[in-house]
Amino acid sequence: MSIICYPWKIAGLTIRARPIRTWTYSQEIYCSVFLQPVTMEILRTICLLILAVVHADRATYDKYQVRRVVPESQEQLEVLRDLEKNSNGLSFWVGPSRVQKAVDIMVPPHMLPQFDEIMASLNLRSEVYIKNVQHLIDTERPKVRPRADFGWTDYYSLDAIYAWLDSLVETYPEVLIPITVGRTYEGRQIRGVKLSFKEGNRGVILEGGIHAREWISPATVTYILNKLLTSQDPVMQDLVQSFDYYVFPSVNPDGYVYTHTTDRMWRKTRSQGGNRCFGADANRNFDFHWLEIGASSSPCSDTYAGSAPFSEIETRVLSEYLTSIADQFDAYLTFHSYSQLLLFPYGHNNDNVSNYDELLALGQAAVSALANNNGTQYAVGNIYSTIYPTSGVSMDWVRGVFNTPYTYSWELRDKGNHGFLLPADQIIDTAEETLVSLIVILRHAKEKLGRN
């Protein structure tokens, strides 16, 4: 919804050369007032009322800060873990994993004094990484929303993404088939497309948006799909001929819609399990070492693994679909944010997968190519040692159950300055550099597996 308030047009009063005051209440309501002070106050009230109606049911994060803390001892690490488990109100954007690994914590304004006291008692320095989360939410999307179709200069709603998929299927009916893997808890379709230029190809699966608030993920996945269809680059065209692509921009549609309508920082699904908290972390809900480590059994936690493996309809139908084509794909690629990491299995322990050396070397080649684009630096490694121990994630389930040889997860931009709220003007650069790394991986897979 977009409301622009031009009071001078309503009142028809003198327009001054420059605004007396400008208020930016949110990305969606922009109100510049050029009027005499008394009229200005009346119109300001009208604008505030409109704002109140539009945003009445929307979570706000005014003056919420994101603090970065680096634990330097096991004791400090344990206290942070304890805080993550038991604190109502703190939200761990990057959870505690090990000593010397940065932890990002969103702190509400009323908890800041208490938070500072705890940090001081632990002898821990906390750095203000984001001063006002709401400000980043308000400035994440362009002030003037592009009217044209997809252009990757803005983040799009689920409806817009699905309408775009429909238009692609209409434009490329010979090579694109729509896929619906099932319906969500709230009854939405989980949709994707299969891109196939010839019979007998093996598949590459792109999974986006399993974590609702990581908007750069569906944006990157749709960008890559568009490039697969339209690129004139001979290397890309060769890769498009050599594999079938199953592309799912948003496998957690309820959560994604919720981040657009109600709470920008929502991560989980939207199921209701009979307690006061909603949803489970879909990427802790897969039936592979479920709930062993790095996942929570508390329904209110952001990393709640669900009441059972595949308790969430979204992961259940996706897993059933993947099982139905399991003998047909070579690669499973998932897209998350943030941290700038390229990860491969596993998360539940530090044991090497059988082709660990290959995945590591290939990952390093991929991020080195990625860095050549814009200088963006990524680290590479298995989930367990590179980000944090975790279990029940989709990529590990695919690798563990189907032994798919090439499975990677991107933790896309940035490294915490915006966190999940990456400005839309970084979508194209992010997606483009990601595509470069993807090409390195797929070229290797094609050659190694003899696909043509």
Least distance in Å: CB of 367 to Zn ion? 18
Q: Pick between residue 264 and residue 336 the one whose CB is nearest to Zn ion.
A: 336
Spot the catalytic one: 411, 432, 433, 447: 411
Ranges within 165-204 binding Zn ion (CB under 5 A): none
**If DSSP codes are grouped into helix, strand and coil, which group holds residue 433?**
helix
Least distance in Å: CB of 389 to Zn ion? 15
Least distance in Å: CB of 338 to Zn ion? 9
Least distance in Å: CB of 411 to Zn ion? 7
The site that binds Zn ion (CB under 5 A) totals a number of residues, namely 3
Q: Pick between residue 201 and residue 434 the one whose CB is nearest to Zn ion.
A: 434
Residue showing tokens 């986006």: 208
**CA nearest 183: which of 308, 317, 283, 325?**
317
Q: Pick between residue 211 and residue 446 the one whose CB is nearest to Zn ion.
A: 211
Q: Pick between residue 270 and residue 336 the one whose CB is nearest to Zn ion.
A: 336
Query: Using an 8 Å Cβ cutoff, are 99 and 71 in contact?
Result: yes
Q: What Rg do the C-alpha atoms of the chain give, in angstroms?
A: 23
Give exposure, 295-316, as e/b (b: 16+ Cβ within 10 Å). Answer: bbeebebbbbbbeebbbbbbbb
360: which residues sit within 8 A by CB, 6+ positions away?
344, 380, 381
268 binds Zn ion (CB under 5 A): no
Least distance in Å: CB of 392 to Zn ion? 13
Ranges within 324-353 binding Zn ion (CB under 5 A): 336
Q: How is residue 326 written in tokens?
A: 């399991």
Cα(347)–Cα(384) distance, integer angstroms: 4
From residue 205 to residue 244, the character string flagging contacts with Zn ion as x (rule: CB under 5 A) and all else as - is ------x--x------------------------------
The count of other CB atoms within 10 Å of the CB of residue 116 is: 13
Cα(423)–Cα(428) distance, integer angstroms: 11
To the query of whether residue 214 is one of the catalytic residues in this protein, the response is no
Residue type for position 131 = K
Name the residue number minimizing CB distance to Zn ion.
Answer: 336
- Mind telling me the catalytic residues? 411
Residues that bind Zn ion (CB under 5 A): 211, 214, 336
